[in-house]
Amino acid sequence: MTTQPFPILFEDNHLLVIDKPAGIATQGVTDGTSVFDQASEYIRVKYQKPGKVYLGIVSRLDTVTSGVLVLARTSKAASRLSDMLRRRTIEKRYLAVVEGKLPDAEGTFVDFVRKDDAAHRMVVCRESTADAKRAELKYRVIESSGQQSLIEVELITGRKHQIRLQLASRGMPVIGDRKYDATLTFPLGIALHAWQLTFEHPTRREPMSFECRPPKSWQRLSVQLP
């Protein structure tokens, strides 16, 4: 029996959709603990594949973020998923619990952002700044309790640390996110979870939608989860 390294939401010849735990990098670490490394080994063992296994990372979740993540098992699937991302036809919704309260029940945030290599973080900047990229998201407040707010976020663009930065720059950092000035701690990772993912299957052209609830660590938050 093949051991699953993390919960698997869907699997076929072209896709592997998982519920990524917080604390695991999507890719890029050298100790074999990344999602890429563990998923590759899972496929290699389960299907008895010799040599290296193909696995395409078309979109990442930050190490500190949990939730739905899709991986491509074929180059055709990777190419078509990448094209969907460019055309913004993949719908990504997140849950976040932030410090403070948002000014409106729903709205849109638009900023220009860039990477600050010296500070190892993203920053908001002027549109005219070199390497500035437009960042847009929509939000909806689900519940506020005390000084915590649970919100649903729909990403329109997909910039590095986008949700974390755009909320923190307005004085509402994600709980546990010390990199972006959070004052409240969180048991593992931060209170940001990739909740829902909707897209068209890359070969069958059928609509697919996945949803997974936040991990148990969220139960100690003061807000009521959906």
Helix (H), strand (E) at residue 86 = helix 75-87
Which residues, 6 or more positions from 15, have their beta carbon under 8 angstroms from its beta carbon? 70, 71, 72, 73, 77, 201, 202
Tell me the mean pLDDT in the region 38-63. 93
Kindly indicate the confidence band of residue 3, based on its pLDDT and cuts at 50, 70 and 90. Answer: confident
- φ, ψ of residue 18 to 5 degrees: the values are -125, 165
* Inter-residue contact 153 to 163 (CB < 8 Å): yes
Contact predicate 108/151, CB 8 Å: no
Question: Could you tell me if 90 and 80 are in contact, meaning their C-beta atoms sit under 8 angstroms apart?
Answer: no
Asked if the model's pLDDT at residue 96 lies above 80, the reply is yes
Q: Class of 8-215 per CATH?
A: alpha beta
In order, the DSSP letters of 204-224 are T--EEEEE-PPPGGGGGSSSP
Domain ranges within the chain, ordered by starting residue: 8-215
pLDDT of 29: 87
Q: Catalytic site residue 83?
A: no
Catalytic residue among 12, 19, 37, 62: 62
